[in-house]
Amino acid sequence: MKTDQDIRRSIEEKRQDYIDAALFIWEHPENIFEEYRSSACLAELLKKNGFRLREKAAGLDTAFVAEWGSGRPIIGYMGEFDALPGLSQEADCLTRKPVTEGGPGHGCGHHILGTAAVAAAVANKEFIESNKITGTVRFYGCPAEEGGAGKVLMAQAGLFDDCDAAVSWHPTDDNGIWSINFHAQQKVEFTFTGNEKKSANAKEAMQLFYLGAQNLRHHLDKCFVVRSGILKTGDEEGGYPLESKVLYAYRAHVSTQVEAAVARLHQVAEGAAMITGCTLKTEFKTGTTELLPNRTLERLMYDKYTATGTVEMTAPDWEYAARMHQALPENGERATFDLMRLLYAEQAEEIIEQVKGKAYNPYLYPFREIEIHKPGSTDICDVSWFTPTAQCVSACYVKDTLGHSWQEVAQGKSGICMKGMLVAAKVMALTGAELFRTPETLKAVRAEFSERRGQKEYRPLLAGAVTENREDTTCCENFSEIHFVGIEDDGLASRHTGSAGNLGGNALEAMQAFEMAMHVMGKYLSPLCRIRQRILETGDEDIVRVPCLAKLEISVEGDESGGRYIRRAAKGAALMTGCKAEFYSGE
């Protein structure tokens, strides 16, 4: 009968196969959804060890599922192999030196992530075969973790529905269980298309949108992380701005928060498009949910980590670590310790004493149920909504190395990196073996999953959904007053209790947005058009309550078409701020 020691020995006996595979993938980095050689490398290694292959899983060219055995339980291992764009870097180099200018590089360690999962799956196959245990070892070849959310697409295809538990890991500069949570996130691209004949200026639409999006940030919960980038301004070639593009990324604790915020951001974009007369296209590029943790599985994994130990460093390893540490930013250790204090609270100082001043961290962190959300996102969180999921981390890089950096790429072929990969493989293999060996352990893991999932609805933040802006149905009916109607708010008490949580509805902000819109539109009005306006009510007389009603008196003379522009500006401003615009004739 094979034991835990036999599992570790099996991985060591095949270590060169796994190192060769990892080095091949490092030397042939491929961007998301283009990982043909990397995917094939791992698939062939599994096939060589007797696994059945299902290629092009979920309709994705570089996704696959490999299985050995039959029946339940089904224990899954998550493999990734995509690289990061623009991070090509020579190995073991202390300065930035791309192998291929502008090419991809493995700045997140996916060349060893997928390979270690293969090693664990093969070791589990040998374990259940030798011990004549019924069950299925399954390996998921998952493409496009870096911005493509490959696992979300695989989940939509039902590939995780029958999996009894999933085991994974991630290369880092420390050792332990990733018992933290992750942010839900979504990236959205907004495209404004102008029309010179209709004076629809795409650059002005983008500028208004940016102002509205910045205003929206004040209404977001403090847990939000917001990133944005202008992809195209529309005036790159000096002509009339016919197209502009903006990319936004929203991260928050849970997917429902992200959904609500993105919906409001889309309204801001709709308002900007309406004001300027542009066409809007909204494309959801990618999105992932928050993690559904499983503490029972995490504790099991930690026990196996304790029994396995961390990387055994040799004198040459320490020399290499000291040398490569010179390439890191000077404040790296301080940043590392700040994060430790955030995550490990009163235990942090003990950890810091163990690793302070060292170029490499061989210390296994204590297990701790961390409720804090890590300011990052990953598509394995979506897997956790379908099956119990746990991840460990192994120190494959020198201490203080930042993920997604050229310094991490430079260390990707080192002996330390390969040793860390094999440590993770052993921890994952032992975790899976225990689930096969002791049904009561798996039952406890599944029970926690059922309790945590409960009646919660899985809400995937899917990529690919495209929406067009609503049609402007503005008419020319006469009016003399515009009222911006916001939310009803009873002041600080409700906001402190969370009962007045909202993402807009400030009538004064709507009035201010209207003024910006009129400034943009003014240059397109006929010279004969004269507009007079007077503020009747701002709504902010009570500085505690959110302004819920703002009023403007307005008149148009000389060109009746000016009324249409004003209506459009008011309706667009209301959309941008989550308010409603009402028009009154005053008769």
The DSSP secondary structure of 386-420, one letter per residue, reads TS-EEEEEEE-S-TTPPTTSHHHHHTTTSHHHHHH
Look up residue 113 and give its two tokens: 């992530």
pLDDT for residue 259 is more than 70: yes
Q: At what angle do helices 4-13 and 110-130 cross, to 10 degrees?
A: 130
Share of the chain above pLDDT 90, in %: 68
DSSP 195: B
Average pLDDT (265-282) is: 93
In order, the DSSP letters of 431-496 are HHHHHHH-HHHHHHHHHHHHHHHTTPPP----S--EEEPPP--------SEEEEE------HHHHH
pLDDT at 185 over 50: yes
Q: Is the pLDDT of residue 35 over 60?
A: yes
Indicate the helix (H) or strand (E) that contains 334.
helix 332-344
Task: Assign 586 a pLDDT band (cuts: 50, 70, 90).
Answer: low
| Architecture label for domain 183-288+456-470 | 2-Layer Sandwich (3.30)
- Does the pLDDT of residue 66 top 50, yes or no? yes
Least confidently predicted of 113-127, 174-188, 451-465: 451-465
| CATH code that applies to domain 474-586 | 3.30.70.360
Residue 442: per-residue pLDDT: 98
Its CATH architecture, for the domain 2-179+291-436, is: 3-Layer(aba) Sandwich (3.40)
Amino acid occupying residue 159:
L
Q: Give me the pLDDT at residue 471, please.
A: 57
Confidence label for 521 from pLDDT (cuts 50, 70 and 90): confident
pLDDT > 60? residue 305: yes
Please report which confidence band the pLDDT of residue 498 belongs to, taking 50, 70 and 90 as the band edges. Answer: very low
Query: What is the bridge-based pairing of β-strands 373-374 and 481-485?
Result: unpaired
Residue of 454 and 498 predicted with greater confidence: 454
Residue 371, pLDDT score: 82
Q: Kindly report which listed range (108-117, 140-149, 515-524) carries the lowest average pLDDT score.
A: 515-524
Give the separation between CA 131 and CA 7, rounded to whole angstroms. 12
Amino acid letter for position 477: E
Q: Round to whole Å and give the CA distance between 136 and 139.
A: 10
Cβ atoms of 188 and 284 closer than 8 Å: yes
Q: Report pLDDT for 585.
A: 82
CA distance 122 to 130: 12
Tracing tokens 């609500």 back to the chain, one arrives at: 260
Question: What is the spatial distance between Cα 134 and Cα 239, in angstroms, rounded to a whole number?
Answer: 69
Helices 255-276 and 562-577, interaxial angle, to 10°?
170
Q: Which residue has the higher pLDDT, 541 or 156?
A: 156
Q: Is the pLDDT of residue 474 over 60?
A: no
User: The sheet that has 225-232: what strands, in order across it?
Assistant: 225-232, 243-252, 184-193, 279-288, 466-468
Query: How many angstroms separate the Cα of 542 from the Cα of each of 219, 264, 496, 499, 507?
Result: 19, 26, 18, 19, 13
Angle at 512 between CA 566 and CA 537, to 5 degrees: 90
Mean pLDDT throughout 327-352? 90
> CA-based angle 82:174:11, to the nearest 5?
65
- For residue 392, what are the β-bridge partners? 169, 177
314 three-class SS: coil
Q: Please give the backbone phi and psi of residue 158, each rounded to the nearest 5 degrees, phi first.
A: 80, 15
Residue type, 14: K
Angstrom distance (rounded) from CA 337 to CA 360: 14
The predicted pLDDT at position 587 comes to: 55
Distance CA 215, CA 205 (A): 15
Pick from 24-28, 290-294, 563-567, 576-580: least confident: 563-567
d(CA 312, CA 309): 8
**What is the rounded CA–CA span in Å between residue 371 and residue 373?**
6
Listed residue (380, 383, 407, 385) closest to 396, CA to CA: 407
Of the pLDDT bands very low, low, confident and very high (cuts 50, 70, 90), residue 118 is very high
Q: What is the pLDDT of residue 495?
A: 43
The predicted pLDDT at position 532 comes to 83
What are the two backbone dihedrals, phi and then psi, of residue 466, each rounded to the nearest 5 degrees?
Answer: -120, 135
Is the pLDDT assigned to residue 492 strictly greater than 50?
A: no
What SS3 string covers 482-534? Answer: EEEECCCCCCHHHHHHCCCCCCCCCHHHHHHHHHHHHHHHHCCCCCCCEEEEE
The domains of the chain are located at: 2-179+291-436, 183-288+456-470, 474-586
Asked if pLDDT for residue 466 goes beyond 80, the answer is no
pLDDT, tens digit, 9 for 90 and up, residues 377-415: 999 999 999 999 999 999 999 999 999 999 999 999 999
Strand partners for 395: 172
Same topology for domains 2-179+291-436 and 183-288+456-470, yes or no? no
pLDDT for res 545? 73
What percent helix, strand, coil does the chain show, rounded to 5? 40, 20, 40
- Give the model's pLDDT for residue 453: 93
* Mean pLDDT score across all residues of the chain: 90
Q: Quick: pLDDT tens for 422-452.
A: 999 999 999 999 999 999 999 999 999 999 9
Task: Give the Cβ contact number of residue 72 at 10 Å.
Answer: 13
The separation between the first and the last C-alpha atoms of the chain, rounded to the nearest angstrom, is 93
Least confident range of 124-128, 234-238, 582-586: 234-238
Alpha-carbon distance 218 to 202, whole Å? 25
For the residues 240-253, what does the mean pLDDT come to? 92
Q: What are phi and psi of 259, to 5 degrees?
A: -55, -50
pLDDT band at 500, cuts 50/70/90?
A: very low
What pLDDT shows up at residue 330? 86
Mean pLDDT, rounded, for 33-51: 98
> What's the pLDDT at 222?
86
pLDDT value at position 321? 97
The arrangement of strands across the sheet holding 580-584 comes to 530-537, 549-557, 481-485, 580-584
- The upper half-sphere exposure of residue 465, i.e. CA atoms within 13 Å in the direction of its Cβ, equals 14
